[in-house]
């Protein structure tokens, strides 16, 4: 039998190999290539690509709205069947914007948070704006990691309005747990967009920060007539006035990645939200401050919502 030390050494070796294969490569060139390759509309290429994808992930297409896809990209960005997700309609609940595995989460220490144990980063660096970070000083945050096989669309966590989007170009590091334990300030290095959102309940401001990763670093937002990717040369700051209903689709990733949710003081993590837990779009992520809660008559009525949010 293997000793505990041998098992630990084997796991560390696997981590090293994973890190080398996913990060010690020409990431941006590979990402550009994958963005082109994934959109090839050829049945043979599509079937072979999705078949290889299935070998390495737990890809479940049983909830997909379509049964046939035009390309691998079409499969990545798939919509779900009507009613595949239930959005928690309670007024005191900030719902998860996406399907995810919860990463680092909890209270914000000043304007500093953690991507992994011993690896802090500043919200000012993440937002590219120290003033925006002050809104969430000593607040709460949750890191939501989407794996490549997950549903890639994300939705409004509450009735809200997107008021501003700040796009920041950067690298395309893998955002898996191995990389997060080895690359300092990883989220602050990668391509990302900060969505500054005002909740209709209480007027609270929150932020959703989708962070792109290796392979297809592209982000489509319904509130902007633009595809944010490595080729984006437009303005870094885009003001908006885009209202959303809770559960309505806001956009999608074109590959698995991460969304970090920030809330100001007074918000608290919902029960069961801890590192390593799984969550689905629409499930309770945070609790709003009591002052922001609407009448109790609506609080106990979760409602089914179409996955597309249409």
Q: What is the pLDDT of residues 37-52, one digit of tens each?
A: 778 888 898 888 888 8
**Sign of the CA dihedral with 225 first, then 226, 228, and 233 last:** negative
Residue of 155, 158, 196, 255 marked active site: 155
Domain assignment present for residue 119? The answer is: yes
Q: Are 77 and 64 in contact (CB under 8 A)?
A: no
Domain assignment present for residue 254? The answer is: yes
Q: End of a domain among 29, 44, 76?
A: 76
| 155 & 217 share domain | yes
| 276 & 185 share domain | yes
Residue 99 annotated among the catalytic residues of the structure: yes
Residue 92 annotated among the catalytic residues of the structure: no
Domain assignment present for residue 310? The answer is: no
Q: Are 262 and 250 in contact (CB under 8 A)?
A: no
Burial class (CB in 10 A: 0-12, 13-18, 19+), 218: buried
Residue 138 annotated among the catalytic residues of the structure: no
Q: Please indicate whether residue 144 or residue 298 has the higher confidence score (pLDDT).
A: 144
Domain assignment present for residue 120? The answer is: yes
Domain count, the chain: 2
Structural domain boundaries, residue 57: 4-76
Residue of 88, 91, 99, 171 marked active site: 99
Please state, in angstroms and rounded to a whole number, the distance separating the CA atoms of residues 178 and 169.
Answer: 23
> Which residues are CB-contacts of 191 (< 8 A; sequence separation ≥ 6)?
168, 169, 170, 171, 172, 211, 212, 217, 219, 228, 229, 230
Q: Which of 19-33, 77-91, 163-177 has the highest mean pLDDT?
A: 77-91
Domain assignment present for residue 19? The answer is: yes
Q: For the segment 188-215, what is each residue's pLDDT rounded down to a tens digit? A: 998 899 999 999 999 999 999 999 887 6
| 90 & 39 share domain | no
Please state, in angstroms and rounded to a whole number, the distance separating the CA atoms of residues 282 and 263.
Answer: 17
| 113 & 140 share domain | yes
Q: End of a domain among 47, 76, 105?
A: 76
pLDDT score for 20: 57
End-to-end CA distance of the chain: 55
Residue 268: beta bridge partners? 287
Q: Are 120 and 114 in contact (CB under 8 A)?
A: yes
Residue 209: beta bridge partners? 260
Q: For the segment 287-301, what is each residue's pLDDT rounded down to a tens digit? A: 999 755 544 333 333
């Amino acid at each position: 039998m293997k000793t505990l030390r041998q098992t630990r050494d084997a796991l560390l070796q696997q981590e090293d190999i994973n890190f080398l294969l996913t990060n010690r490569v020409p990431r941006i060139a590979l990402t550009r290539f994958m963005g082109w390759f994934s959109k090839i509309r050829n049945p043979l290429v599509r079937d072979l690509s999705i078949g290889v994808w299935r070998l390495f992930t737990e890809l479940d297409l049983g909830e997909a709205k379509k049964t046939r896809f035009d390309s691998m990209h079409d499969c990545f960005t798939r919509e779900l069947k009507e009613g595949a997700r239930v959005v928690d309609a309670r007024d005191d609940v900030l719902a998860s914007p996406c399907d995810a595995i919860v990463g680092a989460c909890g209270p914000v220490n000043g304007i500093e948070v953690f991507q992994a144990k011993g690896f802090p980063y500043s919200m000012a660096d993440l937002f590219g704006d120290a003033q925006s970070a002050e809104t969430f000083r000593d607040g709460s945050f949750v890191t939501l990691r989407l794996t490549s096989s997950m549903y890639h669309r994300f939705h409004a966590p509450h009735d809200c309005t997107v008021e501003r989007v700040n796009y920041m170009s950067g690298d395309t590091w893998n955002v898996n747990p191995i990389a997060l334990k080895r690359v300092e300030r990883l989220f602050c290095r990668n391509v990302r967009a900060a969505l500054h959102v005002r909740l209709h309940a209480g007027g609270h401001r929150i932020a959703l920060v989708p962070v792109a990763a290796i392979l297809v670093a592209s982000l489509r937002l319904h509130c902007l007539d633009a595809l944010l990717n490595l080729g984006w040369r437009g303005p870094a700051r885009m003001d908006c006035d885009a209202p959303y209903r809770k559960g309505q689709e806001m956009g999608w990733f074109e590959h698995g990645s991460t969304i970090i949710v920030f809330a100001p003081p007074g918000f608290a993590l919902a029960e069961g939200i801890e590192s390593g837990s799984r969550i689905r779009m629409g499930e309770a992520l945070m609790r709003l401050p009591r002052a922001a809660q609407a009448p109790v008559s609506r609080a106990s009525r979760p409602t089914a919502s179409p996955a597309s949010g249409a």
